[in-house]
Amino acid sequence: MNGDVKKTAFLFPGQASQYVGMAGELYDGFEDVRNLFETASEILKYDLADVCFNGPEEKLKQTAYTQPAVFVHSCAVDLMLYKEGITPRAAAGHSLGEYSALVSSGALDFDIAMKAVAVRSRAMQEDCDNNPGTMAAVMGLDYDDVAGTLKSARGAVVPANYNSPGQVVIAGEIEAVDRACDLLKEKGARRTVPIAVGGAYHSSLMDNSSEKMRKFIMEELKLSPLRFPVYSNVSAGPVDDPERFRELLADQISNPVLWYPIIQNMYRDGIRRFIEIGPGKVLQGLVKRSLNFDDIELSGIDNRENLIDFLKENAEVESA
């Protein structure tokens, strides 16, 4: 990032960051953002802008709508930064957000990434409808303790997200998750919190969508060279080889999101400034809980006001 003394990473959110009205100010303020939404709507065969701006909330929460909404919102912010010459030294995306990160890196064009997200969101919606499941956040146990405990749990339930120290999200069949929460509390978890989601993401209940995405990625998704490394959900490490990332992306839905290890590795690699690109503040909260250091800068760009303020501050840095 020009003029920036701290090594910067862009972080791209996934599901659970959406809200009715998202990206509305960006759409009204910038023709390039309107063009992104028009392209997305042509690919999706419905008016994405209408869903983002007007909801209703229950519709926006459905996987088939949530994923395209969050993806396009993040790409819109990233595009406006890119047009001002602002790019990071590295990036990562939480689950769905990995596709936004790959667009930011130049590995994927927006159009082909939008097609991939369309396939992904519809396939995962089908799994949600056909294999009812849920997720819960487990507080106060580390990842290995949760994973070890779940081996003795009855039913389909697995670790899905390693989000921060002492926060692991589990996913699986509804009754299996409920039983696992009781078991984990017996093992020392401070509490367990149900998550209002449409299904059991990153679990065996998503096997059909995982296979559909693997087929799509291997047959139709060619990645270009990356302008900067993107940290993989599956490996938690930085990847700049397109073919290696394509293989990791194919494994993504069927593996847990290693978010806390990603943030640790970014800090290890010299990243000190983290900027969440897109709706909400979920990832900012996870970074805050993951890195308790005084040299960290943390911010987010969600709406037009955030963007204008950021561009003004960055111009001041460059001219200093």
Residues 243 and 107 in one domain: yes
DSSP 204: G
Looking at the fold, whether 13 and 105 belong to one and the same domain comes out as: yes
Provide the greatest CA pair distance for the chain: 61
- Looking at the fold, whether 230 and 95 belong to one and the same domain comes out as yes
3 domain-assigned: no
Summarised one tens digit per residue, pLDDT across range 183-227 is: 999 999 999 999 978 899 999 999 999 999 999 999 999 999 999
Asked if 202 is an active-site residue, the reply is yes
Q: Which residue in the list 17, 100, 104, 202 is annotated as catalytic?
A: 202
Residue 318 has pLDDT above 90, yes or no: no
| 214 plus 298 within the same structural domain | yes
- Average pLDDT on 73-78 reads 98
> Is residue 31 assigned to a domain?
yes
What pLDDT, on a 0 to 100 scale, did the predictor assign at position 250?
95
Q: Are residues 176 and 290 in the same domain?
A: no
Domain presence at residue 2: no
Using CA atoms, how far residue 116 sits from 99, 180, 218, in Å, is 8, 33, 11
Asked if residues 218 and 180 have their Cβ atoms less than 8 Å apart, the reply is no
Q: Are residues 108 and 163 in the same domain?
A: no
- The pLDDT tens digits for 249-286 are 999 999 999 999 999 999 999 999 999 999 999 999 99
- Of the residues 17, 41, 74, 95, only one is catalytic, namely 95
pTM, full prediction: 0.95
Q: What is the pLDDT of residues 109-168, one digit of tens each?
A: 999 999 999 999 999 999 999 999 999 999 999 999 999 999 999 999 999 999 999 999
**Rg, the chain, Cα only:** 19
Find the domain containing 173 and state its range: 133-195
> Distance between CA 87 and CA 80 in Å, rounded?
10
Number of domains comprising the chain: 2
Q: Does residue 242 have a cis bond before it (omega within 30 degrees)?
A: no
